[in-house]
Amino acid sequence: MAKSVAANLRALDEATMTIGENTNASQGLISRPSLHLIFMEASDKGLLTQRNTRIAEATLSHMTAATLPIATLDPEMQKLAQDSAAKCVLLDTLLGVSETRRLAFFSDVDNTLGNFEPGVHSGFEPDHHLSAILARLSDTIDGRFSFVTGRPDLFLSNAFSNVNGFRASEFGAVVTHWDIDEGAYPLNEPINPDYTELDAAFARVMAENPTVFEGCFVEEAKVTARTVALTGKKDAAKQAAAIALLKPVAEQFVAEYNAQNPSRFPLVAHVNDAVYNCTLEVTPENLGDKLRCIRTLMVQPALRDVLPVAMGDSGPDGPMLDCARERGGISISVGSKLPSLGYNATANLAAPEDLQLVLEAFVWAKANNFPVDRSDRLNKLRYGTSGLPANTNARQTRAVLRPIRAIA
């Protein structure tokens, strides 16, 4: 068993990790933060039995070395280590690099950090656990966290109001710096087309064809674009009918608007058939893309001379991940789409839940067992029991003391 785990880790180390030197895997070792990740995942999946809880508590509380031979683990723990190998390798790499470099995280939202369905508030579905992880992460790295998304800024304000850092929304058309103590500070002047006539035309067509547009809506609060969410995409015929009715309206508006308002950012109309949401959009051309986002953000004073960590799941994220690698950083793909498109990320994770675990374990490790007075074993396991690390600034102190989740 131990040999197969070590071989698995070694293969992942050689195949997916290109940043830093991770010797744990090649030596059949596992780090204390990786053990913590394993036990967190087991508890989240309901696999942490009373027996394994005792093993986890004893292992972490009596482990004095930085690493532990995998072969010394209980067979059940070895199996958990094998199942979590990719996440453990990524976690150890992030921690190793962070010892000598200032990390800055740049992340897509949908299907990367979590799964958000489109809704009347542009998909706002509160995820308090994710928000707490990101708040702790951003404070731990002194605010060097950036959202890079097609969502409007209102979505980020509602979903992640406690996360300090940068927000590049609408694919970088709107860029702000957000601090929970100081509020939002714009970093660019977004183009703001007048969509009054288009809004009226969309509303008229949708009202005249209620059956075709059942469940469809115009996403709210976008500054530079108009997006109609065609949520009836599971019905191919209804989706095609909706596009046939709306696209000519959008194209006519675009032609008339561009003729009356010459600009280096002319409007364009297009259909985006994403896995999670089919949309018809009118947007300024040549304005917002995620490669431009990360380049714009990395010239900000707080983000200069950092090692970028880019995270994404689909085609628009690919150039951002490539940019991070070109600058010597780390790229993390979530799901199967980016690998299928030929993007070679530093690490590939299966789902947003896997990325959340890695980020939560990273924060736990950087906080060096932050103190929370818990009595039950699982909370001791998740939050740690020792004192606050020395030389911690005010923001990092807040990161250490802010709870990620409450466990009954």
Which CATH number does the domain 196-284 belong to among 3.30.1490, 2.60.40, 1.10.540, 3.90.1070? 3.90.1070
What is the predicted pLDDT for the residue at 94? 93
Of residues 372 and 404, the one with the higher pLDDT is 404
Cα-Cα end-to-end distance for the chain? 34
**How sure is the predictor about 275, in pLDDT bands with cuts at 50, 70 and 90?**
low
**Cα separation of 228 and 279, whole Å?**
5
pLDDT given for residue 372 in this prediction:
30
Instruction: Give pLDDT, residue 122.
Output: 53
Q: What is the mean pLDDT of residues 126-146?
A: 90
The predicted model gives 274-286 an average pLDDT of 78
Q: Could you report the per-residue pLDDT of 282-293, keeping only the tens digit for each?
A: 998 877 689 988
Every domain of the chain with CATH number 3.90.1070 lies at: 196-284
pLDDT bucket at 260, cuts 50 / 70 / 90:
very high
Cβ–Cβ < 8 Å for 19, 328: yes
18-73 pLDDT, tens per residue?
A: 333 444 655 677 888 888 888 888 887 777 676 667 766 666 666 666 777 878 77
CATH class belonging to 104-186+303-351: alpha beta
Span 155-194, pLDDT tens digits: 888 888 889 999 999 888 888 998 877 777 888 887 889 9
Residue 26: predicted pLDDT:
54
Residue 235 — very low, low, confident or very high, per pLDDT cuts 50/70/90? confident
Residue 111 reports pLDDT greater than 60: yes
Residue 72 neighbours by CB under 8 Å, 6+ apart = none
For the chain, residues classed under CATH 3.40.50.1000 are: 104-186+303-351
Residues in CB range of 146: below 8 A, 6 or more apart: 104, 105, 106, 107, 165, 166, 167, 168, 293, 294, 297, 303
Closest CA to 239 of 248, 230, 226, 227: 230
Determine what percent of the chain is predicted with pLDDT higher than 90.
Answer: 36
CA pair distance 281, 393, nearest whole angstrom: 44
pLDDT at 315 over 60: yes
Task: Answer whether residue 221 shows pLDDT above 90.
Answer: no
Residue 116 — very low, low, confident or very high, per pLDDT cuts 50/70/90?
Answer: confident
The predicted-structure confidence for 322-338, as pLDDT tens digits, reads as follows 999 999 999 999 999 99
Binning pLDDT at 50, 70 and 90, where does residue 6 land? very low
d(CA 27, CA 7): 10
Determine phi and psi for 303, rounding to 5 degrees: -115, 15
Residue-level pLDDT at 248? 97
How does residue 9 score in pLDDT terms, banded at 50, 70 and 90?
very low
